[in-house]
Chains A and B, each alone.
Chain A
Amino acid sequence: MVWATDQSWVLIDTTVRVLTQSAEVGSKLDHLLESFQQTTGFADESRTFRIAAEPDATAVYQNDDRLASYQSEDGALKYLMVEVNRAAIRQSPWFAVHAGVVQHGESIIAFPAVSDGGKTTLTSACLLRGFEYLTDEALVIDDSGSVVPYPRPLALSPWSCEKLGLEPGQGERLYTPRDLDADIGTGGPPTDVVIPTYGTGDMVLEKLARSAAVEALLTRSFNHYKNAERAFRLSTELARRVNVWHLVLGDPLETASLLYDRLG
């Protein structure tokens, strides 16, 4: 097979390589992963993906395994982003928690995932309200307690796009931080953990005991089981130095404004 593009990026600490047959698909991919550093480093076979044009479909391969095929190139790219994300988080050498994270100056605010979704919408709303982007997926904490940016593209549903005043796609649409006029944050020690829940009334932001962050982080961790002692140490150390909040979610943009005014 002839490959039009062959590019590699570093996501968290993992090199992911993608080959495409179509230069146009390669260009779209380049846009979607523009927040990550490109590299010429080695990606092993399990982290090498191929997007191939077939007679009636666009197929995604992981090494030589055909994972899925789609009628549209955009469908294949969305699927590829899911697989690339999975590979990056699975390989993460650091403690990783399912959460959105935004930054404004020295303030770094993490939202551990809500059980029935919403963190990508809230993260996107925060970017539109002036926060910098760190991730909508994984709060990655290195061994010194600092957040490692993981600024993957944000997948927004038509409902989310409507709420945020963005142009919707068919199904989920991928937005890069630049598409939302947001910069990438530099990372650093988290200052606030905000635990969101859905409510039917007014938005509320109220302080919680710091110990609430320990449970929020550990129970939403992707990889605590790999090194339980390290996960517990980092969670408790982080909990001791952050402010912990309970947030009853309202309209996403209004909620983001509340966070900007109170915590940003």
Chain B
Amino acid sequence: MGGPIRRSKSSILEAEVDGDLSLYNPDSSQVTVLNSSASEIWKLIDGSMTLTEIVNRLAESYEVNPDTIVDEVQQTVSSLTEAGLVETTD
């Protein structure tokens, strides 16, 4: 499933508000609000892990079968990519 996923080069500002994580990209003035599960995924995106590795890490933490969460993780990463917050590499 591709190479490591990394955060965009923009300096993204982040702050938690009542359990939701608000991300602000000053370059695009775009605000993205992540719920708690999307926040978990965002926190694991550090440029070293592939999508598969992120899925496996979360599955291990929550003691679930990776197949049950792969779609949600994929969808979240796609949304973060569309918002210009992460970049995927081949």
Contact = CB atoms under 8 A, between A and B. Distances in A.
B18 interface: yes
User: What interface size band does chain B fall in?
Assistant: 10 to 19
A239 interface: yes
A214 B26 contact: no
Contacts of A225: 26, 29
Contacts of A212: 33
B17 interface: yes
A219 interface: yes
Contacts of B17: 209-211, 213-214, 236, 239-240
A219 to B, nearest CB: 6
B64 interface: no
B interface, over-half SS: strand
A218 B15 contact: no
Contacts of B83: none
A185 B31 CA distance: 31
Interface string A200-219: 00000000011111110011
Interface of A: 209-215, 218-219, 224-225, 228-229, 232-233, 236, 239-240
Q: State the majority secondary structure of interface residues on A.
A: helix
B18 A214 contact: no
A232 B13 contact: yes
Contact of B18 (A210, A215, A228): A210
A228 B28 CA distance: 11
A232 B29 CA distance: 10
A211 B13 contact: no
Contacts of B24: 214, 218, 228, 232
B15 A228 contact: no
B20 interface: yes
B29 A214 contact: no
Which 4 pairs, one residue from A and one from B, show the smallest C-beta to C-beta distance? A228-B26, A211-B20, A236-B15, A215-B31
8 contacts: A209-B18, A211-B17, A211-B20, A214-B33, A215-B22, A224-B26, A228-B26, A239-B17
